[in-house]
Chains A and B, each alone.
Chain A
Amino acid sequence: MSLFELPILPTLGAAAAGGCASGGCASGGCGTGGCGTPSAERTSENSRREFLKTATTLTLGAMSLTLLPGVTAGDDMLPLPPPGGEGHVPAAKPMYGFLIDTTKCIGAGKCLTACRVENSVPDGQSRTWVERYVHYKDGRVEVDLVPETGYAGSGEVQPAAEDVLQAYFVPKLCNQCVDAPCNQVCPVHASIKSPEGIELVDTERCIGCGYCVQACPYGIRFMNHDTGVADKCNWCYHRVMRNEQPACVEACPTGARVFGRIDDPDSEISKRLATVPTNVLKQHLGTLPLTRYVGLTDEVT
């Protein structure tokens, strides 16, 4: 008899038949000391097998349920209705894109305030920021953050113009990667992609493990100090669903941030993407960002 053919807890059977051993063997053909006879053992063995079979089936069944799309999180909030502007023929699945023109950004900081107010972003954390790159004539490259008030109101000492070779501003926001690492690593379906391709956080489901924060190569995600869940730029999804522009786009005084439908050839972003060479951040990582840049240099990470 192999190991797996043996009763798992024979003493349980013996204990159950304890009364029998102590003189109660009159029935069942147990006979004398028959508690250990094959027939008695087989009965308890069979019931044990049945129990194990049922328990295993139920456990595996319950576990497999958690993998069904209908049971997993976030599905109930999707899909949201596509925007339907005047003269606009909404596609079944509109796709959006974001274009940053670094040659137009002047570091005004208006977008930063607009985002913070619109999305109630806590102080010290950012859904979007603007980096200033200063290339000096001696070969140094310095990078700093544009203050929300802009440099004019910050009181910071600015580099002397005669020392500077070139300077430019690079706004950063969620890249809305098609193959998003943050989405991949989320253990509980709290990172979800909308039908429009926008990466969202389900704040009711997020457990606050921070794995997505580690996985984002662009430093966009953060653990919101106020809410205790993961937070990130979502291109102002709530505004987009109302057929409005993201807050930062609306606040930008120079049109450095362009947002729109990339599945509509007549949209401004589609026209720009068709005529101007663009690039993405950290292309080598293969995340396929939807946020594209005009005028990126190798210095920008």
Chain B
Amino acid sequence: MEFHALHDAPFIFPNDAHPAWSIMIVLYPYITGMVAGAFVVSTMYHVFHREALRPVAHLAVVTSLCLGACATLPLLLHLHQPLRAFNVVATPSPTSAMAGFGFIYSFYMLVLLVDVWLIFRPAIVERAATATGAWRGVYRALALGVVEITPRAAEIDRRLVYALSVIGIPAACVLHGYVGFLFGAIKANPWWSTSMMPVIFLTSAIVSGIAVLTLLYLFLCQRSDIEPDAECVRSLSRLLWMFLLLAVVFEAIDILHVAYEREEEWHVIRALLSTKLRFSYLTLQVVIGSILPLLLLPLPAFSGRLGAGFRHSIAGVCAVLVLVQVAAMRWNVVVGGQLFSKSFRGFVEYPVDWFGREGLLAAAVVLAMPMVLLWGAMQILPVWPPSPESESGAKS
């Protein structure tokens, strides 16, 4: 599998000239990663009783739901036959990893939806009784007709939230580990074909979830003129640092293993990394997105001497850098894997369109959609600002 593009005249198979997967397939694992990651953060509070994360616990689970609600958007935009999308659940092929999507996604979203409903049920019931006009109808509908709540019911809700959070952890892991498996199980592509892929996807998913919550929390605090909870930011930074370290180690092990063995696929990967992915992999993913935040995150995570404002600023910057890292990782996997022909004799150009169904503009809209939903959810549910009362029904 010697890669000839660097020293001979390039040659690509005729059907390789048009990469089959677009930027939408980059967004899909990016969004589902944040779905899984944000949920894991919420379970840190609901299951593992990490009290410091109380201010973001509700925000985490609602963010996960809003992201999850938009996770299928990029897939639908990508499908050439979107009206047949339901075939995936109507006539799934048991031999296809992709056929599991409908079931895994539906199960996870169901768990998440019930979880959110139970967490916010006290608030919904209260508003159903106190709201007036159309809002009263909205809350009565959200309460599913139950407009009273008893201490015993609240206790049962609390236990159910705990149980659903416990169930949700493996579900979230399967949801994103499976996305990694989709790529890792393609033996035709030496850049994708590795058993490490699900693990790499999973750890980077958790990283992106923590990062997006850190950023959201700091942004919402600033917008609401609330002083960010120092322990919460510290706890998020510690988690981010730990999981980023894990993600980087797994990614490095994978590359170093192939590089050291120098089997035939290394010739392809080396050529790819040294040319087409030099910027997006080495500069963005490794230096800016991995090494820099790994060096900076100990400041907000472990230092007790620095001022709170400075630590929170560093935490915010690191969250942005990590989100860039994960986006670059998704890009490098999805697009990078299509930048060389299966002839292993030449590179393929990936055209990035601004407009169209799979263009950059559509991608920006898809990325903005979960935030719009989150804003909507915040108008209806007491997601923000965090109040001790709203937590009492959910904490176990």
User: Are the C-beta atoms of A219 and B343 separated by less than 8 Å?
Assistant: yes
User: Are the C-beta atoms of B91 and A71 separated by less than 8 Å?
Assistant: yes
Residues from chain A with a CB closer than 8 A to the CB of B341 are 219
The 14 sampled A-B contact pairs (Cβ below 8 Å) are A10-B152, A72-B91, A124-B14, A125-B14, A129-B13, A185-B95, A185-B97, A189-B91, A189-B93, A207-B84, A214-B189, A214-B337, A223-B20, A223-B80
4 shortest interchain CB distances as A-B pairs: A208-B80, A219-B13, A210-B20, A217-B188
User: Are the C-beta atoms of A66 and B21 separated by less than 8 Å?
Assistant: no
Is the CB of A140 closer than 8 A to any CB of chain B? yes
Is the CB of A301 closer than 8 A to any CB of chain B? yes
Cβ contact of B15, chosen from A126, A181, A206, cutoff 8 A: A126
Is the CB of A141 closer than 8 A to any CB of chain B? yes
Cβ contact of A10, chosen from B153, B187, B343, cutoff 8 A: B153
Residues from chain B with a CB closer than 8 A to the CB of A55 are none
Interface residues of B in 82-140 (CB under 8 A from A): 82, 84-85, 87-99, 101, 103, 125
Q: Which of A9, A124, A217 has the most C-beta atoms of chain B within 10 angstroms of its own C-beta?
A: A9
Question: How many positions in chain B have a CB within 8 Å of any CB in the partner chain?
Answer: 62
Is the CB of A99 closer than 8 A to any CB of chain B? no
Closest Cβ–Cβ distance, residue B202 to chain A (whole Å)? 21
Residues from chain A with a CB closer than 8 A to the CB of B90 are 66
Residues from chain A with a CB closer than 8 A to the CB of B159 are 3, 6
Interface residues of B in 1-32 (CB under 8 A from A): 1, 4, 8-9, 11, 13-18, 20-21
Specify the chain A residue showing the minimal Cβ separation from B21. A210
Cβ contact of B79, chosen from A73, A209, A213, A218, cutoff 8 A: A209
Cβ contact of B11, chosen from A10, A73, A143, A189, cutoff 8 A: A143
Contact size class for A?
A: 35 or more
User: Are the C-beta atoms of B156 and A7 separated by less than 8 Å?
Assistant: yes
Cβ contact of A184, chosen from B8, B96, B345, cutoff 8 A: B96
A184 CA / B96 CA spacing, docked (Å): 6
Specify the chain A residue showing the minimal Cβ separation from B10. A143
Is the CB of B78 closer than 8 A to any CB of chain A? yes
Is the CB of A186 closer than 8 A to any CB of chain B? yes
Residues from chain B with a CB closer than 8 A to the CB of A161 are none
A229 CA / B308 CA spacing, docked (Å): 56
Is the CB of A98 closer than 8 A to any CB of chain B? no
A205 CA / B8 CA spacing, docked (Å): 41
Q: A143-B343, A219-B14 are in contact. List 20 more A-B contacts (CB 8 A).
A: A6-B156, A12-B144, A66-B91, A66-B92, A125-B18, A141-B4, A145-B14, A187-B101, A189-B91, A189-B93, A207-B82, A208-B81, A211-B98, A213-B15, A214-B189, A216-B342, A217-B342, A228-B80, A229-B81, A301-B345
Is the CB of B147 closer than 8 A to any CB of chain A? yes
**Residue-by-residue, is A208-236 near B (CB-CB < 8 Å gives 1, otherwise 0)?**
11110111111111110000110000000
Closest Cβ–Cβ distance, residue B117 to chain A (whole Å)? 11
Closest Cβ–Cβ distance, residue B308 to chain A (whole Å)? 40
Residues from chain A with a CB closer than 8 A to the CB of B98 are 185, 187, 209, 211
Residues from chain A with a CB closer than 8 A to the CB of B80 are 207-210, 223, 228-229
With A219-B341, A220-B15 as contacts: A15 and B145 at CB distance below 8 Å: yes
User: Are the C-beta atoms of B187 and A11 separated by less than 8 Å?
Assistant: no
Is the CB of B384 closer than 8 A to any CB of chain A? no
A232 CA / B345 CA spacing, docked (Å): 22
Residues from chain B with a CB closer than 8 A to the CB of A219 are 13-16, 341-343
A221 CA / B188 CA spacing, docked (Å): 12
Specify the chain B residue showing the minimal Cβ separation from A14. B148
Interface residues of B, Cβ cutoff 8 Å to A:
1, 4, 8-9, 11, 13-18, 20-21, 75, 78-82, 84-85, 87-99, 101, 103, 125, 144-150, 152-153, 156, 159-160, 163, 182, 186-189, 337-338, 341-345
A131 CA / B150 CA spacing, docked (Å): 76
Specify the chain A residue showing the minimal Cβ separation from B7. A140
With A141-B4, A187-B98 as contacts: A207 and B85 at CB distance below 8 Å: yes
Closest Cβ–Cβ distance, residue A227 to chain B (whole Å)? 9
Closest Cβ–Cβ distance, residue B129 to chain A (whole Å)? 12
Q: Which of B4, B11, B91, B156 has the most C-beta atoms of chain A within 10 angstroms of its own C-beta?
A: B91
A183 CA / B95 CA spacing, docked (Å): 8
Residues from chain A with a CB closer than 8 A to the CB of B75 are 209
